[in-house]
């Protein structure tokens, strides 16, 4: 089997990709090109980094039949939604899109599959949302998508914990089942949590560590970290050490890529071990 770098690119090859800044670290090309190759599709999936203010210009160049669509990552998810002609309910509710589909007539459809990816990762760890209070750390785009997906799945209560309380309060204003807390309120919120989700960038390589004691949390609570560099974050290590079930950010990343691939290429991804490929790519090089 040839690698994506050596396979033929023809005049018929479909173009898709991920747009972000920075984007060179993205695992999405690895995941989608592996699926493309296994499915025998004549397509290629690239990582595209526009100039800081160049997202709209890039999209203008790609729409109308040039590319079938793109995934979108930081910092362009809100702009992606704003540029769309139609948007799914998931994208509108999240206020952000991670997928843009370029139709032949020049229109753009936006979707947000992050919530789907999160719920898939949580389900794999045994979490069922109904009757299960949740604690979400963070109040950025990922936290907002998480909160909305949890509510949609039936979570009765969500405690949203964030450094900037006003950002948590803005999300809490969306639904009475959400409460906003500063970092000092995290321990009390964990008391009866059935799931804890880190949706901050704390614990990511190059970022400050996530300092949070899991002591107040039940050992049955699923602990999920959206951060996947490193894959086994300190939060997940601490959770595993006390016996909590865990879900990692890579499960979510692959989970959001599944509906993205189906929407971009009109078929579900083939069942191959993309997780193994990603794990190899995530091993730090000496």
Is residue 140 classed exposed, middle or buried when 0-12, 13-18 and 19+ CB atoms within 10 A define those classes?
Answer: middle
Using the rule CB under 6 A, is 92 a contact of ligand NDP?
no
Report whether 29 contacts 17 (CB < 8 A). Answer: yes
Catalytic residue among 20, 26, 41, 77: 77
Q: Compute how many residues bind ligand NDP; rule: CB under 6 A.
A: 26
Instruction: Tell me, residue by residue from 144 to 163, as one string, x for binding to ligand NDP by CB under 6 A and - for no binding.
Output: ------------------xx
Using the rule CB under 6 A, is 247 a contact of ligand NDP?
no
Report whether 134 contacts 163 (CB < 8 A). Answer: no
Using the rule CB under 6 A, is 202 a contact of ligand NDP?
yes
CA gap 198, 106 in Å, rounded: 38
- Whichever of 41 and 135 has its CB closer to ligand NDP, that residue is 135
Using the rule CB under 6 A, is 18 a contact of ligand NDP?
no
- Whichever of 223 and 253 has its CB closer to ligand NDP, that residue is 253
Write out the DSSP string of the chain.
---TTTS---TT-EEEEEE-SS-TT-SHHHHHHHHHHHHT-SEEEEEE---TT-HHHHHHHHTTTT-SEEEE-TT-HHHHHHH-SEE-HHHHHHT--SEEEE-TTS-EEEE--HHHHHHHHHHHTT---TT--EEEE--SHHHHHHHHHHHHHT-S-EEEE-SSHHHHHHHHTT-TTEEEE-GGGHHHHHTT-SEEEE-SSTTSTTS-------TTS-TTSEEEE---SSSS-HHHHHHHHTT--EE-HHHHHHHHHHHHHHHHHSSPPP---HHHHHHHHHSPP-
Which listed range, 22-30, 51-59, 64-72, 194-202, lies at the site for ligand NDP (CB under 6 A)?
194-202
Cβ 273 to ligand NDP shortest distance, Å:
18
Using the rule CB under 6 A, is 185 a contact of ligand NDP?
no
Which listed range, 25-33, 57-65, 81-89, 225-233, lies at the site for ligand NDP (CB under 6 A)?
225-233
- Whichever of 169 and 201 has its CB closer to ligand NDP, that residue is 201
Using the rule CB under 6 A, is 208 a contact of ligand NDP?
yes
CA gap 171, 143 in Å, rounded: 9
Phi, psi for residue 161 in degrees, rounded to 5: -115, 125
Using the rule CB under 6 A, is 69 a contact of ligand NDP?
no
Using the rule CB under 6 A, is 112 a contact of ligand NDP?
no
Cβ 27 to ligand NDP shortest distance, Å:
9
280 is an active site residue = no
Could you say which of 13, 86, 164, 237 contacts ligand NDP (CB under 6 A)?
A: 164
- Whichever of 26 and 37 has its CB closer to ligand NDP, that residue is 26
Using the rule CB under 6 A, is 138 a contact of ligand NDP?
yes
Using the rule CB under 6 A, is 31 a contact of ligand NDP?
no
Using the rule CB under 6 A, is 228 a contact of ligand NDP?
yes
Residues with catalytic roles: 77
Which residues of the chain form contacts with ligand NDP (CB under 6 A)?
74, 114, 117, 138-143, 162-164, 167, 199-202, 204, 208, 226-228, 249, 252-253, 256
């Amino acid at each position: 089997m040839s690698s994506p770098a050596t396979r033929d690119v023809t005049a018929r090859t479909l173009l898709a990709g991920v747009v972000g800044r920075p984007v060179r670290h993205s695992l999405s090309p690895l995941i989608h090109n592996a699926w493309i190759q296994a499915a025998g599709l004549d397509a290629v999936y690239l990582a595209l980094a526009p100039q800081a203010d160049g997202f709209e210009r890039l999209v203008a160049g790609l729409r109308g039949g040039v590319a079938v669509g793109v995934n979108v990552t930081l910092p362009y998810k809100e702009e992606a939604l704003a540029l769309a002609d139609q948007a799914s309910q998931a994208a509108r509710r999240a206020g952000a899109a991670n997928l843009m589909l370029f139709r032949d007539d020049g229109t753009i459809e936006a979707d947000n599959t992050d919530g789907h990816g999160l719920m898939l990762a949580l389900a794999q760890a045994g979490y069922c949302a109904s009757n299960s209070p949740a604690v979400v750390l963070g109040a950025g785009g990922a936290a907002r998508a998480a909160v909305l997906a949890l509510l949609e799945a039936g979570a009765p209560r969500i405690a949203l914990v964030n450094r900037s309380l006003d950002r948590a309060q803005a999300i809490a204003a969306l639904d009475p089942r959400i409460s906003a807390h500063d970092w000092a309120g995290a321990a009390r919120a964990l008391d009866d949590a059935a799931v804890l989700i880190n949706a901050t960038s704390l614990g990511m390589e190059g970022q400050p560590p996530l300092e949070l004691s899991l002591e107040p949390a039940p050992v049955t609570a699923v602990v999920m970290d959206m951060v996947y560099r490193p894959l086994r974050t300190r939060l997940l290590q601490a959770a595993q050490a006390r016996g909590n079930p865990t879900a990692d950010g890579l499960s979510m990343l692959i989970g959001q890529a599944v509906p993205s691939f189906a929407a971009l290429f009109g078929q579900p991804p083939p069942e191959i071990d993309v997780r193994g490929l990603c794990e190899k790519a995530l091993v730090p090089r000496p």
